C-alpha cells in the first residue's frame, strides 16, 4: 500500500529529539526553529512530560466519555489558572480544525444564527466548517462551499463595522487568529480586536479567538488576543497544548450554556491526552516559559531587524515572520540543508519561526549566526554572477 501523497517532503528521517534539537537517522543534529509547525511548546521529549505520559500509560490510556475522568477536571483547573480565565469551561477534542469546528457549531447553537465572519488570509483548518472559514479556495472542496461565510479584509475596522451595521442581527460569530500563522505572521491590531469585541457585544455575536497556532503562551501571553485586553467568548487551542501529543480544546465563556449531547467525541479528553496536556501546563508554569518566549522572542526580533536584507520583521514572542527578497530565495532551503536549521515558511516569500517556548539564548544565537552566514554567502553568489554577466564572461 502506498502513502497518499499530499505532502511535499524533505528527504530527512528524524529519529530522535530533545529540547530544541532533533537528529536524523544518520546522526546529523538539527536546530528546530519550526517546532514541528508550532507544536513543540515545552521542548521535544521533555523528561517531565515523558514521565507523566509513561505513568498514565501504566494506569489507563483510554476510556470513553461515558464515565468520570478526573484528570479532565485537573487539566481544566490548571488551564483556568495558567490562561487567567478561571470561570471558563473546557471541552476537549483532538485537533485544531476540530476545535474550530466545535467552536463555530457551538456559537450557532448559542444564538441560533448562521452567518460567520472570517478574514482575508485566515487559516482555521481543513474540516467542513473550519475550511469554509479559511481563505484559500484551493483547499475548499465543492461540498464545503457555503453562503454562510463572509470574508472581510483583515484589520479593517471600517469594513467590519460597516458589515455589522448592515447585517449585525444575522451574524453568528466572528473567528479571528490573534496572529495569522499560515497567512504569513500578520498581527491583528489591538484596536481591531477591541472593535470586534464591541461589535459582537452590541449585536449578540460570538467572538471566537483561534489560538491554535498563536496561543498557549507562544507570544509571551497565554492567548495572543490578550494583548488587546479583551476576552473572547470562545478560545480554540491545539498544537502546543500537547507538545506533540494530539490533544485540542475549546475554552468557553460562562454565558454559553452546555446541554447534554450538544457536542461530543470518542477520543477527546482521553486519559493519556490529558496527562500530556497537564504536564505541558505544569512545565509552562514551573519553568516560566511564557516569560522566556517573550524575552528570547524580543531578542530575536530585534536582532533580525538589524539585518538590512530581511524586510518587515514582525510577530510577538516566539511567533516571528519576515519577508525574504527574491535574491535570497534559497535561504530557507540552505538553512536546512547546509546549516541544519529547520524553519517554517508561508507562501510566497515569508520565513516563519515557531520554536519551542524553552528556546535558549544560545540557540537563538546559533540561529542568528546561521542566518548571517547564509545571507552573506547568497549575497556573494549573486554579486559574483552579476559581475560575470557584466564583464561578458558569462556569455557563450
Ligand X SMILES: Cc1ncc(COP(=O)(O)O)c(C=O)c1O
Q: Which residue ranges make up the site for ligand X (CB under 6 A)?
A: 95-97, 100, 123-125, 177, 181-182, 210, 212-213, 238
Interatomic CA distance for residues 87 and 81, integer angstroms: 10
Smaller CB separation from ligand X, 130 or 313:
130
The three cell numbers of residue 176 are 479571528
Closest contact distance (angstroms) between CB of 247 and ligand X is: 10
DSSP letter at 267 equals S
Smaller CB separation from ligand X, 122 or 172:
122
- Cell 448559542: give the residue: 110
Closest contact distance (angstroms) between CB of 209 and ligand X is: 10
Interatomic CA distance for residues 177 and 190, integer angstroms: 12
Closest contact distance (angstroms) between CB of 124 and ligand X is: 5
Query: How many Cα atoms are found within 13 Å in the side-chain-facing hemisphere of 378?
Result: 21
Query: How many Cα atoms are found within 13 Å in the side-chain-facing hemisphere of 247?
Result: 26
Smaller CB separation from ligand X, 69 or 237:
237
Smaller CB separation from ligand X, 297 or 344:
344
Query: How many Cα atoms are found within 13 Å in the side-chain-facing hemisphere of 135?
Result: 20
Smaller CB separation from ligand X, 319 or 378:
319
Find residue 207's DSSP bridge partners. Answer: 174
Smaller CB separation from ligand X, 36 or 220:
36
- Which are the contacts of 184, defined by CB distance < 8 A and separation ≥ 6? 121, 321, 346, 347, 350, 352
Smaller CB separation from ligand X, 35 or 181:
181
Interatomic CA distance for residues 188 and 69, integer angstroms: 37
Burial class (CB in 10 A: 0-12, 13-18, 19+), 287: middle
Find, among 302, 175, 284, 276, the residue nearest to 233 by Cα: 175
Q: 164 and 171 in contact (C-beta within 8 Å)? A: yes
Closest contact distance (angstroms) between CB of 262 and ligand X is: 21
Smaller CB separation from ligand X, 113 or 352:
352
Sign of the four-CA dihedral 96, 113, 168, 90: negative
Smaller CB separation from ligand X, 117 or 375:
117
Closest contact distance (angstroms) between CB of 208 and ligand X is: 11
Interatomic CA distance for residues 296 and 318, integer angstroms: 7
Residue sitting closest to ligand X (CB): 96
Closest contact distance (angstroms) between CB of 181 and ligand X is: 4
Closest contact distance (angstroms) between CB of 346 and ligand X is: 11
Closest contact distance (angstroms) between CB of 249 and ligand X is: 12
Residues 38-59: b if buried by 16+ CB within 10 A, e if exposed:
bbbbbbbebeebeebbeebeee
Closest contact distance (angstroms) between CB of 207 and ligand X is: 15
Amino acid at each position: 500500500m502506498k502513502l497518499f501523497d499530499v505532502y511535499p517532503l524533505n528527504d530527512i528521517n528524524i529519529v530522535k529529539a530533545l529540547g530544541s534539537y532533533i537528529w536524523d537517522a544518520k546522526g546529523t543534529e538539527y536546530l528546530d526553529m519550526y517546532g514541528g509547525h508550532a507544536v513543540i511548546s515545552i521542548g521535544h521529549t521533555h523528561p517531565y512530560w515523558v514521565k507523566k505520559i509513561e505513568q498514565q500509560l501504566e494506569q489507563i490510556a483510554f476510556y470513553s466519555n461515558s464515565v468520570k475522568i478526573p484528570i479532565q477536571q485537573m487539566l481544566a483547573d490548571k488551564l483556568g489558572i495558567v490562561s487567567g480565565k478561571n470561570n471558563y469551561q473546557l471541552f476537549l477534542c483532538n485537533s485544531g480544525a476540530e476545535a474550530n469546528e466545535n467552536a463555530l457549531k457551538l456559537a450557532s447553537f448559542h444564538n441560533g444564527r448562521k452567518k460567520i465572519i472570517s478574514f482575508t488570509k485566515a487559516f482555521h483548518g481543513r474540516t467542513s466548517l473550519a475550511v469554509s472559514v479559511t481563505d484559500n479556495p484551493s483547499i475548499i472542496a465543492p461540498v464545503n462551499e457555503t453562503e454562510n461565510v463572509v470574508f472581510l479584509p483583515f484589520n479593517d475596522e471600517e469594513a467590519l463595522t460597516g458589515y455589522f451595521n448592515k447585517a449585525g442581527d444575522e451574524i453568528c460569530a466572528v473567528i479571528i487568529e490573534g496572529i495569522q500563522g499560515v497567512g504569513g505572521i500578520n498581527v491583528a491590531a489591538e484596536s481591531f480586536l477591541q472593535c470586534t469585541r464591541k461589535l459582537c457585544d452590541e449585536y449578540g455575536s460570538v467572538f471566537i479567538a483561534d489560538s491554535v497556532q498563536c496561543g498557549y503562551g507562544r507570544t509571551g501571553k497565554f492567548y495572543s488576543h490578550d494583548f488587546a485586553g479583551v476576552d473572547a467568548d470562545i478560545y480554540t487551542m491545539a498544537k502546543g497544548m500537547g507538545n506533540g501529543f494530539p490533544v485540542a480544546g475549546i475554552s468557553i465563556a460562562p454565558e454559553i450554556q452546555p446541554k447534554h449531547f450538544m457536542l461530543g467525541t470518542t477520543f477527546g479528553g482521553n486519559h493519556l491526552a490529558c496527562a500530556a496536556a497537564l504536564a505541558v501546563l505544569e512545565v509552562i508554569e514551573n519553568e516560566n516559559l511564557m516569560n522566556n518566549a517573550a524575552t528570547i522572542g524580543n531578542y530575536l526580533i530585534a536582532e533580525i531587524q538589524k539585518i538590512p536584507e530581511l524586510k518587515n520583521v514582525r510577530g510577538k514572542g516566539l511567533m516571528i515572520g519576515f519577508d525574504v527578497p527574491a535574491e535570497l530565495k534559497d535561504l530557507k532551503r540552505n538553512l536546512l540543508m547546509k546549516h541544519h536549521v529547520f524553519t517554517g515558511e508561508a507562501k510566497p516569500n515569508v520565513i516563519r519561526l515557531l520554536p519551542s517556548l524553552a528556546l535558549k539564548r544560545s540557540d537563538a544565537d546559533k540561529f542568528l549566526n546561521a542566518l548571517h552566514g547564509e545571507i552573506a554567502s547568497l549575497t556573494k553568489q549573486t554579486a559574483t554572477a552579476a559581475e560575470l554577466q557584466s564583464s561578458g564572461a558569462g556569455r557563450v
